[in-house]
C-alpha cells in the first residue's frame, strides 16, 4: 500500500503529511516551523503517529504486527542456536575431560609397570 501523501497525526507535533518511506524510516512534513521529521516505520504508529485514514492505519498496524512476529521468531531461532552451540561445547568439554582422565590413567599404569 502506498502511504505517500497520507495525512497523519502526531501526539506532539499535530497533523502532517507522509512525504516518503525510506527503508525503515518514514518522513512526515508538519507545519512550516516544524518541517520534515523522520520516524521509525512502522514502529512510530504504535505510539506516536496515527493515520487519518483508518484503512491505512490498519494496514500499517498489520505490518507492525508482522514485523514484531518476525523479530520474535528470529530471536527464538537465535536462542535455539546459542543453546545448541552451548550443548555442543559442553559435550566437547566432557569428551576432552574423559580423554585427559584416560591419558592420566594410562600414564599411571605405564609408570606402575616401569616401577616393577
> Which residues sit opposite 14 in a β-bridge?
10
On the question of pLDDT at 116 being above 70, the answer is no
pLDDT in tens, 33-76: 899 999 999 999 999 999 999 999 999 999 999 999 999 999 99
pLDDT in tens, 77-111: 999 999 999 999 999 999 999 999 999 999 888 88
Measured between its terminal Cα atoms, the distance across the chain in Å is 88
> Which residues sit opposite 51 in a β-bridge?
8
On the question of pLDDT at 115 being above 80, the answer is no
User: Domain coordinates of the chain in residue numbers?
Assistant: 7-115
Backbone angles phi, psi at 104, to 5 degrees: -65, -40
* CA angle, residues 37, 33, 17, in degrees to nearest 5: 45
Rounded Cα distance between 28 and 12, Å, is: 13
Amino acid at each position: 500500500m502506498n502511504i505517500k501523501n497520507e495525512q497523519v497525526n502526531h501526539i506532539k507535533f499535530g497533523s502532517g503529511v507522509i512525504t516518503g518511506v525510506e527503508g525503515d524510516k518514514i518522513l512526515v512534513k508538519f507545519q512550516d516551523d516544524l518541517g520534515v521529521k523522520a520516524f521509525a516505520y512502522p514502529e512510530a504508529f504504535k505510539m506516536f503517529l496515527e493515520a487519518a485514514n483508518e484503512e491505512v492505519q490498519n494496514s500499517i498496524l498489520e505490518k507492525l504486527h508482522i514485523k514484531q512476529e518476525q523479530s520474535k521468531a528470529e530471536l527464538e531461532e537465535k536462542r535455539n542456536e546459542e543453546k545448541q552451540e552451548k550443548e555442543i561445547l559442553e559435550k566437547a568439554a566432557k569428551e576432552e575431560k574423559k580423554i585427559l582422565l584416560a591419558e592420566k590413567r594410562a600414564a599411571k599404569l605405564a609408570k606402575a609397570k616401569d616401577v616393577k
